[in-house]
Amino acid sequence: MTNSAVTQSSNYFDLQGLDQLRQKAQGNSKESIREVANQFESMFASMLIKSMRQANEAFETDSPFNNKDTKFYTDMQDKQLALDISRHGSLGLADALVRQLDPTSIAGPKSVPQDEMVMPNSETSKMMDLNKALAAVDLNKPDKMQPSLPAFNQPVINTAKPVAELESRVENKPFTDQKSFIETLMPYAKKAAKALGISPEVLVAQSALETGWGKKVINNSDNQSSFNLFNIKAHRSWQGDKVAKDSLEVENGIGVKRRSDFRAYDNYEQSFADYGKFISTNQRYQEALQQGTNADRYIEEIQKAGYATDPQYADKIKQIMNNESFKQAVAEGELNG
């Protein structure tokens, strides 16, 4: 068996090491990328040292050591020095070349400390550990990400009342609990879901995840609600109002804080209506709409299409929908009209 390891030249006169490295580079081996990059950095360092030597030649005219022999050995010493510089990565050029030629060989960016991670409209929430198993959601307990909430079974708004009356009661008031969130938004969700041909339950669950059950709806600078239940961003095509807020994006498995513009509406009904328009008019979500009322498949396709950067986005929404308390609240809403 032949030895496939790359032999890096340890000194300027190691011709055998240089020859082995040249053979590896010709074979386009990933193993040789680091060594080749180091040798390139040593060549660059050698050029720098040579330029500095030439800049000082004017001061060596009368020196007794300024002769052909001393210049020969000085040149060899400079080349060895350049090689040593590259082996220790002093210039950083080799690292840049490796990142360009083989990004997988370089460690990923350092994650931002959890204490600095914030979701929209929140200064105290911490980033969720993406590698940690999801715990079961108990809707009967206060949301741990929120200030203490009332019990799940407290009195709620009756959805049998006209939508106009519901708007006047809830548009400027916080949701009392998770059950009131479901029953208040279900009429809007049904209207949007009917137009999309999907299940309304998945829209309520998605808005619950995006806003922390209505407690993290983005506010503007005057602390007025944007009514954006789905955290849809305001891109160039958006002609309406918008609110700038920090948001947490997952990039290459790492949470990164970004400043983004989000759409703002006059009420929650507009938020659901715009969500429906956003999904139906974007070609990338057409596969999701093909799933119809299969809520699990719909939200899986939404994630695949790039709606959110959280790799567990679909699983979190399905966990909410599959919770017995959520199902019970939805069923009670159906019975009440």
Query: What are the residue numbers of the active site?
Result: 249, 274
Provide DSSP, 84-147. HHHHTTSS-HHHHHHHHH-GGGSPPPPPPPGGG---TT-SS-----TTSPPPPP-TTS--TTSS
> CA 242, CA 266: separation in Å to the nearest integer?
11
DSSP state letter for 219: B
Mapped onto helix, strand or coil, the DSSP state of residue 225 is strand
Residue 121, CA atoms < 13 Å, CB-side half-sphere: 25
DSSP state letter for 224: -
**Inter-residue contact 82 to 45 (CB < 8 Å):** yes
> CA 193, CA 206: separation in Å to the nearest integer?
12
DSSP state letter for 166: H
> CA 327, CA 320: separation in Å to the nearest integer?
9
**Inter-residue contact 255 to 112 (CB < 8 Å):** yes
Instruction: For 304, list phi and psi in degrees, rounded to 5.
Output: -60, -35
> CA 196, CA 275: separation in Å to the nearest integer?
10
> CA 189, CA 202: separation in Å to the nearest integer?
9
Count CB neighbours of 93 within 10 A: 19
DSSP state letter for 31: G
> CA 96, CA 222: separation in Å to the nearest integer?
46
> CA 317, CA 164: separation in Å to the nearest integer?
28
